[in-house]
Amino acid sequence: MLPTPSTSHVSYDRIYEPAEDSYLFLDTLSSASETAWLHSRFSTASSNTQNQQTTVSTTSSTSTLLRKRTPSTKPTPPPLVVELGPGSGVIIAFLTAHAHTIFGREILSLSVDVNPHACRATRTTVETALNESKATRHQEVVSDTEQTTQREHHGPPPTPDDNTDHKQPSTSIYLASLTGDLTTPLRQGEVDVLIFNPPYVPTDSVPDIDVLRNTFPAPAPSPISIQRDRDGSGCMNGSNARRKLELSFEESSHLLALSYAGGVDGMQVTMRLLNELPSILSPRGVAYILFCRGNKPDEVKDWIRGWNNHGDGHDDNGKNGDGNRPAGSGARWSAETVGSSGKTAGWEKLEIVRICREPFADGPRD
């Protein structure tokens, strides 16, 4: 079992505390079935095999064109993993620190949150997890070396361990904690893995994000320009004066409400993101989104499977109007439940849905 990142530095009066939904993401993404799927989609070897080039040759005897598939020699970049609304940062820290086990390779990661306190706390959580992971792997290497030395005097060398991904040194990089609303700070078509634990509780309305812009005008600081205290805030640009954000009860309540209040059916925020997925995900991109039973996940999955390749044709309710895939799209949308927990009835039952484009079995249509 992979260790859970520490969030002891996080102040939970202004940031969402990790709960059942957070840990469901950790269990699902580190499960044997899901890591195998992620390895096949993003590992360097499999990606080079999948990214094939078509070569055309002419035979003198038949004068026909023969199409041959050859593996591409172009190296594939590490996947960009983005978490929206990370809160404490426990999920993105888990994925970054254990990238070799989960993805089969290094990753680039970042997060986006409307709450600047969450942005600062997330960076601290990720950096702490990376440091602890490196220290653990160093101890494992030292221990393995000592055991190997002892065996050399008592018998044949040990059989190599095929499952050594967890012992690989972490070369993944956490890029930034960005302050923003959903995907607004991101470039289109660049996200390879998107994680979203949304505000999914059905409420009368969704809190106004503009309140934050007036209360917290400063962006989340970079690691060079800040010295952190316990909750991630600190002095800016080398100043000796601590930056204190004294929050009223109403302001703290507003920040926490942003993390759970999902509006009508608990789907107002989630639906905004779903409509952005076709443009924000890369061609190999995949999104993992959490739903509760009250969000009607089965209906949502059926709707997603009806998207066309461009994600257009939405009606006034934000859903696809015709549900048809255009000819020549070369891919179809898949939406499958890959993790679940909670009660068997009621809105408390949770599930994680994996959403991505899947190629046709016979290749792109002409």
What was the pLDDT predicted at 98? 96
323-354 burial, b at 16+ Cβ within 10 Å, e below that, comes to eebeeebebbbebeeebeebeeeebebbbbbb
Assigned domain for 176 exists: yes
Assigned domain for 117 exists: yes
Residues 348-364 pLDDT 10s: 799 999 999 987 544 44
Assigned domain for 169 exists: yes
Assigned domain for 112 exists: yes
* Mean pLDDT along residues 2-13: 92
Assigned domain for 292 exists: yes
C-alpha span between 122 and 81 (Å, rounded):
14
Residues 96-115 pLDDT 10s: 999 999 999 999 999 999 99
* Residue 139 Cα distances to 134, 144, 145, 152, angstroms: 9, 9, 10, 20
Assigned domain for 183 exists: yes
Write out the residue range of the structural domain in which residue 253 sits: 21-47+80-151+165-317+329-359
C-alpha span between 234 and 335 (Å, rounded):
42
Assigned domain for 134 exists: yes
Which CATH number characterizes residue 311's domain? 3.40.50.150
Q: What's the whole-model pTM score?
A: 0.74
Task: Tell me how many domains the chain contains.
Answer: 1
Residues 32-75 pLDDT 10s: 999 999 999 997 754 444 444 433 443 444 344 334 444 555 67
Assigned domain for 27 exists: yes
Q: How many CB atoms lie within 10 A of CB 33?
A: 10
**57 sits in which H/E element:** strand 52-58
